[in-house]
Structure 1
């Protein structure tokens, strides 16, 4: 926490008010010196409770907090859906694929995703011939050996 008052509120949210008045953690400079211990205490507390309870306690005690979403959370969240943060594409050989949309979405230039881009290996031969100057015979040998 950036201030002693903020740490006091966090300690209250954790139901560990003694932390804010302890000789080890009561002052910012001392917490900084013991940051690994403080981080461990907070990590254990966060890990001991459901996410929503941690959020509720922190908000109630005026501790800045935010939800860290899992991939499943993102796919299920109506807000992400409504904002177009996830785009479903139909791709040859893959079927339906969900990928991140364009962020930010600007009014004049919103952007859009229309495909996944070139398939893996699409430009291999052109790159080998034109950029790497590999002869057609060498490309043929590499292909026969299943290197490409």
Structure 2
């Protein structure tokens, strides 16, 4: 696992892409785990009846995946201060969502780093947003 420090991060730095296979199990299990029992997240027939082509991922799962993406890059000492996301096209089973990110700002007064995040699947942008993390300072050795 990485351990990023505030000093080594640069505005414009790109995070490595993270492809996430969108399995039916992932979509159903994470909806249940987040206590979201809406039928469109687990019942294909009802999802189609309500206008979707299949079940689709819930926003809580998307939020968690965005958090995981940034904290995996930043490391265990990072503190997530804010996650602001907006959903676009749905994540359906059988597709892949690829998360990408770019450091857009640094705030020296409190070591906050802002990261623009985007998750794309075969239909387009599933999620766009910003994650703010506070990173530790470089430790003198």
**TM-score interval for Structure 1 and Structure 2 normalised by the shorter chain:** under 0.3
Structure with the higher fraction of residues in helix conformation: 1
Rg (Cα) greater in structure:
1
Higher relative contact order (CA 8 A, sep 6+): 2
Structure with the higher fraction of residues in strand conformation: 2
TM-score (norm 2): 0.24
